[in-house]
Amino acid sequence: MKPKIVAVATSFNDAILAKKYSADIIELRIDLFKNRNLIDIVKLSKKRTKLPIIATIRSKFEGGEFRGNELTRFSLFRQVLPYVDFIDIELSSKIIKNLINIARNKKIIISYHNFKNTPPEKKLEQIISRASGYKPYIIKIATLVNSQSDLLRLFALLNNQSKKYSLAIIPMGSKGQVGRILAPIFGSALNYAFVKNTVSPGQIGLKSYVKYFK
């Protein structure tokens, strides 16, 4: 998969700006939406932008704001499925198997987030091995970078990735920002940027990000 720039949208207005600023894909962070008409926002975002849409309802256990139970989250995913192209689900989620079963015609992103550190090489390999067992379209690894060696371990994953899936690395934190800039060059499938307000540590603004690669 050719590296893409993903605009992280937390509102309908973000989605419209993402189109204006030349994002390749829009991630709708449904867990961060303040408007209660969630399904209408998803439908309208797809209709107005005509860009591929990632549906993300990030659990609080992996840095998101969704605080309902997993059955409620599964139900919400089911409702938005007809209007999106990708589903992002955490490897740690209890609903991962059931969600993949009902989303067979969608592209599945299996994600892992660690806001404390970047695990050792062996641990990262185990995470990717577990995720690949679900046969996803993309595996996404987002970890906090505390040192240069952390960054090198993430880039090593790109160098060693399998042809069976695409891999996205998201270096987080101030020490990971240079990695965010370099990641598309080294083949990271998805590269996330905020539209108006940062959503994760070290994230770069979409307008600036696009200038590097478009």
Are the C-beta atoms of 27 and 84 separated by less than 8 Å? no
Whether 135 is catalytic is: no
- Whole-number Cα distances in Å, 185 to 116, 169, 188: 26, 12, 7
Q: Which residues pair with 104 in a beta bridge?
A: none
d(CA 97, CA 118): 26
Options 2, 140, 163, 164, the catalytic residue:
140
Whether 113 is catalytic is: yes
Q: Is 165 helix (H, G, I), strand (E, B) or coil?
A: coil
CA atoms within 13 A on the CB side of 194: 12
119: left (phi over 0), alpha (psi -120 to 50) or beta: beta
Options 113, 116, 135, 207, the catalytic residue:
113
Indicate which residues carry an active-site annotation: 113, 140
